[in-house]
């Protein structure tokens, strides 16, 4: 008993120091971005037609790709959470594979798929051009972020007992009605937090978007692409201010995510 108490007294101070040290390093590195910008550069960047276009394009594409992710992730996460699916383990590994891939690799794979395969060329013959277009931005964001939302939804549904659905079915509900009126509302905290993080990840997606949609000013220029282009051309004030905008979006996203996570834990 004495040894356990001594080990506990040593363990918690050390872990606390490491946690605060790590937080301090992150704050020092990321917060340092704001020391390199001025009020004039912020005003100049935000009133720039280029950055205004990048913000608008980022918002539109990230919202669309997040909604498309939800359309696939909600039913996929539900069926994976209930188990018993034939080939579930290899299917889960396949769905999660893009999550562990470098975005550049995913972007190259998407580029070759839509540019060199019969499916990609067939779509282009039908007038649906993905490569180096704004549609390519949405496709790249969707492909990279879908596995994350599937994983979140699978975890959220797994925490809900199937007995609730069974009771609803005994009361006359169909399978879909039980899911829609019982299970999905109970998973709302996980759903909302997952959508928020997925949207934030889509706003900041760079590698896959660069490979598939390219980096054309005022055409496929999202905020990360604008940061890349301005760094490449030496416009540091605009580049750093754009980085601060993305950092601000990430900070606000994490704030809402933590609030939603706290709420789900209390439930």
Whole-prediction pTM value? Answer: 0.86
Angle of the 236-266 helix axis to the 49-82 helix axis, nearest 10: 30
The full set of domains in the chain, from first to last, is 46-266 (1.10.3720.10)
Distance, in Å, from the CA atom of 131 to the CA atom of 140, rounded to the nearest integer, reads 10
Q: Report in angstroms the alpha-carbon separations of 25 from 14, 29, 31, 204, 251.
A: 16, 6, 10, 22, 16
Q: How confident is the prediction along the chain (267 residues), in pLDDT tens digits per residue? A: 455 554 556 667 788 888 888 989 988 888 888 888 888 888 888 888 999 999 999 999 999 999 999 999 999 999 999 887 788 889 999 999 988 889 999 999 999 999 999 999 999 999 999 999 999 999 999 999 999 999 999 999 999 988 998 898 888 888 889 999 899 999 998 899 899 999 999 999 999 999 999 999 999 999 999 999 999 988 888 889 999 989 988 888 888 777 766 544 433
* pLDDT tens-digit readout, 86-113: 888 899 999 999 888 899 999 999 999 9
* DSSP at 84: -
Cβ 44 vs Cβ 237: under 8 Å: yes
Distance, in Å, from the CA atom of 218 to the CA atom of 52, rounded to the nearest integer, reads 10
Cβ 148 vs Cβ 251: under 8 Å: no
* pLDDT tens-digit readout, 233-267: 888 888 899 999 899 888 888 887 777 665 444 33
């Amino acid at each position: 008993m004495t040894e356990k108490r001594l080990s506990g007294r040593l363990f918690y101070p050390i872990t606390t120091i490491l946690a605060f040290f790590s937080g301090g390093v992150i704050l020092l590195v990321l917060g340092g971005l704001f020391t390199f910008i001025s009020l004039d550069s912020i005003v100049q960047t935000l009133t720039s037609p280029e950055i205004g276009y990048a913000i608008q394009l980022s918002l539109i594409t990230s919202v669309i790709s997040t909604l498309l992710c939800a359309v696939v992730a909600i039913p996929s996460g539900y069926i994976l959470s209930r188990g018993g699916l034939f080939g579930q383990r290899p299917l889960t590994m396949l769905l999660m594979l893009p999550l562990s891939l470098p975005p550049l690799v995913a972007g190259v794979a998407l580029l070759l798929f839509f540019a060199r395969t019969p499916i990609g060329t067939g779509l282009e013959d039908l007038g649906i051009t993905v490569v180096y277009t704004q549609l390519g931005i949405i496709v790249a964001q969707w492909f990279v972020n879908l596995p994350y939302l599937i994983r979140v939804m699978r975890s959220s549904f797994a925490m809900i007992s199937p007995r609730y659905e069974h009771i609803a079915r005994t009361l006359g509900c169909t399978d879909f009605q039980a899911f829609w009126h019982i299970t999905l509302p109970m998973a709302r905290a996980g759903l909302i937090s997952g959508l928020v993080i997925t949207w934030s990840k889509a706003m900041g997606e760079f590698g896959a978007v660069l490979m598939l949609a390219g980096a054309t000013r005022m055409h496929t220029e999202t905020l990360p692409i604008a940061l890349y282009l301005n760094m490449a051309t030496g416009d540091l004030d605009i580049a750093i201010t754009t980085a601060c905008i993305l950092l601000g979006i990430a900070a606000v996203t994490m704030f809402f995510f933590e609030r939603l996570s706290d709420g789900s834990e209390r439930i």
